Structure 1
C-alpha cells in the first residue's frame, strides 16, 4: 500500500510563502517513491506580501491557502481538515512563509507563536509516532513546539556556500532548546522523539 503523506504549504514564493524549488523537490521525490500526497495550507491571511521581482514588500493582501493552491494546481485542502489518521507522515517545505505565516519566528524570534492548526498537526503526528519532515527554515516550528528536539539541516560551515543562511545554527543560537546533529546535505534528518 502506498504511503500517504501530507505536505503543508505556507503560500507561494520564497520570501512570503513556500519556497517553490523545495516544495517541488519534496513533491517529485514523494511521487518517485510512490507516495500518495495531499497538500494542505492554513486558510489565513499572509503576514505580508513581497514583490519577488523587486525584493520588497508590496501593498496588497493575499491568503495562504489561495496562494498555496498555485503550487498544488488547485488540489489542496484547508489545514483544518488534516487528520493524522489519514496520513503516514507530514512534510513542511521551507520558504520564509514557514517563518511568517505558519509561525511568527521571522518577527519574534524565539518568542514566536506557532499557528494553532500547525501546532496541532505537529503534536498529532508526534503523538502517533509518525514521521515529520521539516525543510530549510521550517525546523523552527519543531524547535518551538518540541523543546529539546533534535534537528539536522546540514553542516555548520562550508566556504563553498558562503552567504547562505545557516538555519540550524540560527535556530540553536536564537535560544531554542534544540540539539543539532551535523550532517552533510545529502544525509539529513529531523528527529522528534524516537524519529
Structure 2
C-alpha cells in the first residue's frame, strides 16, 4: 500500500509563498517513489503579495490555499482538515511563504508564532513519531512549533538564521546543499536547498535524499 505523504504548501512563488522548484521537486521525487501525495495549505490571506519580476510589494490580497492550488494542480486540502491519521509523513517545501504565512518568522525572528493549524499538525505528527521533512527556510517554522523537543535541523550555513533557530530551542547543523540533516530522535529531516543553491540541479540532490529518508522512516 502506498505511503501517504503530506506536502504543506505556503502559496506560490519564492518571495511570498512556496518555492516552486522545491515544491515541484518534492512532488516529483515522491511520485517516482510510488508515494501517494496529500497537498495542503492554510486557508488564509498571504502576509503580502510580491511582484516576482520587480520583487516589490503589490497592493493586492491573495489567499494561501488558492495560490498553493496552482502548484497542486487543484488537488489540495485546507490544512485545518488534515490529521495524523490522514498521512504517514509530512514535508514542508521552503520559500518565504514558509516563514511569512505558515509562521511569522520572517517578521518576528525568534519571537515568531506559527499558524494555529500548522502548529497543531506539526505537534501531533511529532507526538506520534511520524516523520517530518523541511526544506530551505521551513526548518525555522518547524523549530518555532517544536522547540520544546530540541529538534536538530539545518538551513545550510546562514549564521543569523541558525542563531534564531537555537534561540527557539533548536540545534543547528551546518550542511551542504546536496546533503541532509537527520534528527533520529525526533524523526525530522532537513536540507538547505535554496538557502544555499545555486541552481535547481543542486537543490534537487538534497531534496531527493530528504524524500528518500522520509519514506524510509514511514
Q: CA RMSD in A?
A: 1.4
Q: Note if 1:149 corresponds to 2:151.
A: yes
Measured against aligned partners, the alpha-carbon deviations of 1:66-123 in whole angstroms (never above 9, x if no partner) come to 0000001110011111121121100100000011001011111111110000000101
For the residues of structure 2 that align with 1:102 and 1:72, how far apart are their CA atoms? Answer: 17
Mark the CA change 1:121 to 1:190 in structure 2 (over 3 Å): closer, same or farther: farther
Query: Which residue of the partner structure matches residue 159 of structure 1?
Result: none
- Counterpart of 2:196? none
What stretches of structure 1 move > 4 A for 4+ residues in a row?
none
TM-score by length of 1: 0.89
Please say if 1:185 is aligned against 2:177: yes
TM-score by length of 2: 0.80
- In 2, are the aligned partners of 1:153 and 1:189 still within 8 Å (CA)? no
- Greater helix share, 1 or 2? 2
Count of residue correspondences:
183
Say whether the 8 Å CA contact 1:133–1:190 is kept in structure 2. no
* Post-superposition offset of 1:190: 4.6
Tell me how far apart the structure 2 counterparts of residues 170 and 149 of structure 1 sit (CA, whole Å): 18
> Are the aligned partners of 1:13 and 1:95 in contact in 2 as well (CA < 8 Å)?
yes
Q: Compute the displacement of 1:170 (Å).
A: 3.2
Structure 2: gaps spanning 5 or more residues: 188-218
Structure 1 regions of 5+ residues with no counterpart? 157-165
Distance 1:193 1:171 in 2: 23
Q: Is the 8 A contact 1:132 1:190 kept in 2?
A: no
Deviations 1:124-178 (A, max 9, x none): 1101111000000000112212222100244x3xxxxxxxxx2xx3333123322
Confirm whether residue 10 of structure 1 aligns to residue 2 of structure 2. no
What SS does the corresponding residue of 1:37 show, helix, strand or coil?
strand
